[in-house]
Each structure stands twice: as structure tokens, then as C-alpha cells.
Amino acid sequence: MNFSIDKNENFLIVPGTLLFVVEQIIKTTIVTRTTSLDIKIEFFDSNFKIIYLTEDKINNVFALSKIEEIFRVYGIYSSEEIEVNERNNVREIIIPTLEIKE
């Protein structure tokens, strides 16, 4: 398994979000001697993306229902929603960062 983060950035998210999403990716992705799990995290102004190649297990497919608790909790703290996009065997999970308003 390989992780890459595009830069060292300070950001605020709901505690446990990153860990929970990465755990779900690991639980639902096939990893063999010839295929590794490469997870890339990219930061932007108001969100970050978790990007990886989809190799879902047949009996344990990644589904929005597996991360619905994160969707619910994010709805309490942010008007922005988490997005999950798939294209050409690449899955992107876009998570908004939080801002503290004074």
C-alpha cells in the first residue's frame, strides 16, 4: 500500500473522517502481489480529494452506504457535501474542509 500527499497542509475536517474513509477503501479493495493499493490525497482551497484505482472486492464493494455516517455528520458542520466520483476505474472522494467563522 502506498500513500502520497501532494503537500503538507493544515486543514480542518470532522474528526475521524480521513481514517474512516481510508479504512473503507482498504476493506473493499483487492490487493495482490501484482496490484498494490495506491492512495493519493490532493489538497485544494476548500476541499481535498482521496484518489485511488478501483479494484473492488466482489463480496465487499465500496458503496456510499458504507460511509453514510460521515455524510450525516458532515451535514451538521458544513453546508458542503462529500462527493464520490468514478471514471475510468478511478474513484475520487471529495471531502470539504471546514472553516471556523467568528
- Residue 56 sits in a domain whose CATH number is 3.30.565.10
pLDDT above 70: residue 38: yes
For residue range 40-74, list pLDDT tens digits in order. 998 888 898 999 988 878 777 777 777 788 888 88
Within-domain flag for 101 = no
- pLDDT at 44 (0 to 100): 85
CA atoms within a 13 Å half-sphere pointing along the CA-CB vector of 88: 1
Q: Rounded to whole angstroms, how far apart are CA atoms 102 and 100?
A: 6
* DSSP alpha helix (H) spans, 7-79: 17-28, 68-77
Has this prediction a pTM greater than 0.75?
yes
Within-domain flag for 28 = yes
Scan for cell 497542509, then name that residue. Answer: 9
For residue range 13-36, list pLDDT tens digits in order. 888 888 889 888 988 888 888 888
Best CA proximity match to 70, nearest among 3, 36, 20, 9: 20
Within-domain flag for 92 = yes
Within-domain flag for 14 = yes
